[in-house]
Amino acid sequence: MDQQVPIVRKLAEDVVNRIAAGEVIQRPANALKELLENSLDAKSTNIQVTLKNGGLKLLQIQDNGTGIRTEDLGIVCERFTTSKLQQFEDLTKISTYGFRGEALASISHVAHLTITTKTNGALCAYKALYKDGKLKAPPKSCAGNVGTIITVEDLFHNIATRKKSMKSFNEEHLKVVEVVSRYAIHNPMVGFTVKKQGELLTEVKTNQGSTHIDNIQAIYGSTISRALLEVNDYCNVLKVKIKGYVSNPNFSAKKQIFILFINDRLVDSQGLRKAVDQVYSIYLAKGSHPFIYLSLNLDPMNVDVNVHPTKHEVHFLHEDKIIDKVVDAIQDKLSGSNTSRTFYTQTRLPMSCDTLIDKSKEKLEIKESEKLNNTNSTNVSQNKMVRTDCSEQKIDKFLNTSNSSNSTLMLPKSKTNDVITRREIKLTSVLSLRKEIENCCSETLQTIFQNHKYVGAASPTWSLFQHDTNLYICNSNNVLQEMFYQIMMYEFGNFGVIKFSNALSIYELIMIALELSESGYQGSEDKPKEELAHDATEIIVSRALMLNDYFSIEIDTDANILSIPLLLEGFLPDLDGLPLYLLRLASEVDWSSEKQCFHSFCRETARFYILHPWKQQCGDNDDISVRNNTINIKYAILCINSKKCAILCRIKLSFN
């Protein structure tokens, strides 16, 4: 018996349209993206999005754009009706978001669609309801503002399988918010708002006429916005303009944020995404990701925008070369990002002495020490057991360990230090001061600090640490002051920069310092305070070129200080001490002799870097008796490598 040959039939038009709609509108976020792009094409400056059940129950977008003409409402939801194209060749130079006329048609086949619109100059607005691309009834006049309100209700009500495939309302809501957030970052001149129906609080809110940085901060927070590097490049050969912002090597996140616009269209490029990840793999730990926002402008003749139903992907000529150009632009920014750092500060709450002392009362555990020669293990007497902190606070916990243990004392660098050129200092005065440090070196103290374990804080200025079976107490201020002095000597002329977000008047800062009791100024009829401040300012400003060249202290022509040296990566001194520091530079530094000038300047700078905001509140206990196991640490960390210096600085940071 012959098998019956199946008959080829033409699908019904409603079936065809519903299949096509399912390709264009895959979830609420796709519908919102299409509507959002229509609003932007209509020259809107304010767009409001309202959601219910992640957009499945209600998805509404309201704009203040040009609106839709009343005579066009009859065909606006039919397939392939558009004001953007007239012939196929127009696709090669398309410069708008929507162009195929499928968005509204697709939505009307899978949801209940309502359009309320008013054009400029019209007497009233008109409201129209659609089903399967057709008007349900003639548009009705109503009150309304210039612009368009599109309301999508019961999305996928006639495609049960698609609706069931949606994982949760919350997940769909987050995807809609993500789409709006990305368009808000790329279009800072447009104000965006996203909120749930019936709620006053907004999920996303950006202001009209803001900046890219403002919107990134409003959406993702200040942590990201402060870590951004601007990328701006142009290649005349490839005819590509690259703009955007990428995070510096100090920032990392568990989830990747990759925002890419090509010719103002939100798209994705797996090739570019992988290439950027490879660049950051040098700087970030495994499992960490950067923040990337890039906008590429290409010649429209080189871009094919019509390769995906949702227009989520594009194809363009010379893709590999363009990706290489983008990667090079990002690499250039990252490689130079550690030569200058900007730190933002906030007021720190003072910590009481009791809190600091409580930290030193952490529970200590006792563990047996291993025999040096791996001999037979026997019971170890208690006086031979090593008491250590229960959290094993070793150097490896705080730093990336270095293979070099005998390197010259250096400022810890980031992973890009292989591209940083260091100046070789041959000044006789500096070399002589370094020699004096090395001659005063104590091998015993070096050994203690290189192999110590930090225990805790006995007071704001006294620290407990252990070496071998001995418990020591040291004045951490003395330790840190010597450490910073040595960094000043060995990093001479090669400092990083801590830039102030605002220029600070040197004269005003010195006036503040003269009000402090530490300045020693008690008033004088012969020399009023204003005149003293003026003289001190002149002393500092007259040395501006030298200060900038050797110590990264930048002073502008208006006698404002713009920066101070970066002595340790990620370490910011207490800026409350800046006024007194400037006053002491003018009064305590011996400017007459080169060697004495550098020596006294570095000493004063080291003193400034160890100031504590709580020092005056708690005070030092001058009556603490110095027992045999207590060491005077004035030259404790002479000539040890930068890795050990950083852990000693960590002791100070733990107090804060």
pLDDT digit string, tens, across residues 503-535 = 999 999 999 888 888 877 776 556 788 888 899
Could you say which DSSP state residue 47 is in? Answer: E
What confidence score (pLDDT) does residue 173 get?
A: 92
For residues 632 and 460, the answer to whether their CB atoms sit within 8 Å is no
Distance of CA 592 to the CA centre of its chain: 44
What confidence score (pLDDT) does residue 540 get?
A: 92
- As given in the structure block, the two tokens for residue 530 are 């204003």
**Which of 319, 634, 307, 264 lies closest to 486 in space, CA to CA?**
634
What confidence score (pLDDT) does residue 175 get?
A: 92
For residues 152 and 158, the answer to whether their CB atoms sit within 8 Å is no
Report residue 258: phi and psi, to 5°: -125, 110
First and final CA of the chain: distance in angstroms? Answer: 91
Q: CA 601 to CA 485: how far, in whole Å?
A: 9
pLDDT digit string, tens, across residues 1-37 = 556 777 766 655 665 565 555 556 788 898 898 889 8
What confidence score (pLDDT) does residue 431 get?
A: 92
What is the arithmetic mean of pLDDT over 634-645?
Answer: 36
Q: CA 571 to CA 413: how far, in whole Å?
A: 12
Host H or E run for residue 646: helix 642-655
Lowest mean pLDDT among 55-64, 391-400, 523-532: 391-400
pLDDT at 49 over 90: yes
What confidence score (pLDDT) does residue 85 get?
A: 43
Could you say which DSSP state residue 6 is in? Answer: P
Q: How far is CA 507 from CA 482, 529, 531, 533, 541, in A?
A: 29, 11, 10, 6, 10
Q: How many CB atoms lie within 10 A of CB 432?
A: 12
In sequence order, the 6+-apart residues with CB closer than 8 A to the CB of 171 are 54
pLDDT at 442 over 90: no
pLDDT at 142 over 90: yes
Lowest mean pLDDT among 247-256, 288-297, 378-387, 626-635: 626-635
- As given in the structure block, the two tokens for residue 549 are 């060249």
Task: Tell me whether residue 272 is exposed, middle or buried, using C-beta atoms within 10 angstroms of its C-beta: 0 to 12, 13 to 18, 19 or more.
Answer: buried
Host H or E run for residue 396: helix 395-398
Query: Which alpha helices (DSSP H) does 418-560 contain, by range?
Result: 428-439, 443-450, 476-490, 506-514, 529-542, 544-551
Q: What is the CA radius of gyration of the chain?
A: 34
Q: Which residue has the higher pLDDT, 420 or 44?
A: 44
Angle between the N-to-C axes of helices 103-110 and 28-41, in degrees from 0 to 180, rounded to the nearest 10 = 140
Strands (E), 68-190: 112-118, 125-131, 134-135, 140-142, 147-153
What confidence score (pLDDT) does residue 394 get?
A: 45
Q: Are strands 125-131 and 112-118 parallel, antiparallel or unpaired?
A: antiparallel
Cα angle value 329/414/401 (rounded, 5°): 145
- As given in the structure block, the two tokens for residue 572 are 């910011």
What confidence score (pLDDT) does residue 292 get?
A: 94
Host H or E run for residue 191: strand 191-196
What confidence score (pLDDT) does residue 140 get?
A: 92
Sign of CA dihedral 372, 377, 380, 386: positive
pLDDT at 317 over 90: no
In sequence order, the 6+-apart residues with CB closer than 8 A to the CB of 572 are 343, 345, 498
Q: How many CB atoms lie within 10 A of CB 482?
A: 23
What confidence score (pLDDT) does residue 383 get?
A: 53
Q: CA 523 to CA 515: how far, in whole Å?
A: 10
What is the arithmetic mean of pLDDT over 187-194?
Answer: 95
Query: Which alpha helices (DSSP H) does 25-128 contain, by range?
Result: 28-41, 103-110
What confidence score (pLDDT) does residue 3 get?
A: 64
- As given in the structure block, the two tokens for residue 471 are 């418990």
**Which of 45, 146, 37, 54 lies closest to 95 in space, CA to CA?**
37
pLDDT at 376 over 90: no
What confidence score (pLDDT) does residue 386 get?
A: 54
Q: CA 508 to CA 529: how far, in whole Å?
A: 11
- pTM (predicted TM-score): 0.51
Q: CA 637 to CA 614: how far, in whole Å?
A: 25
Query: For residue 241, what are the β-bridge partners?
Result: 234, 297
Place of tokens 């070399």: 431
For residues 230 and 240, the answer to whether their CB atoms sit within 8 Å is no
For residues 323 and 242, the answer to whether their CB atoms sit within 8 Å is no
What is the arithmetic mean of pLDDT over 619-632?
Answer: 34
Q: CA 308 to CA 310: how far, in whole Å?
A: 5
In sequence order, the 6+-apart residues with CB closer than 8 A to the CB of 122 are 67, 70, 146
For residues 519 and 463, the answer to whether their CB atoms sit within 8 Å is no
Cα torsion 355, 356, 358, 359 to 10°: value is: 120
Q: CA 26 to CA 155: how far, in whole Å?
A: 10
Report residue 43: phi and psi, to 5°: 65, 35
**Which of 459, 579, 96, 508 lies closest to 306 in space, CA to CA?**
96
Q: CA 570 to CA 564: how far, in whole Å?
A: 13
Q: How far is CA 181 from CA 175, 274, 306, in A?
A: 10, 23, 24
Task: Tell me whether residue 28 is exposed, middle or buried, using C-beta atoms within 10 angstroms of its C-beta: 0 to 12, 13 to 18, 19 or more.
Answer: buried
Query: Which alpha helices (DSSP H) does 589-629 contain, by range?
Result: 594-609, 615-618
Per cent of the chain over pLDDT 70 is: 71
Query: For residue 129, what are the β-bridge partners?
Result: 114
- As given in the structure block, the two tokens for residue 232 are 């701006």
Rama region for 209: left / alpha / beta (φ>0; ψ in -120 to 50; rest): left
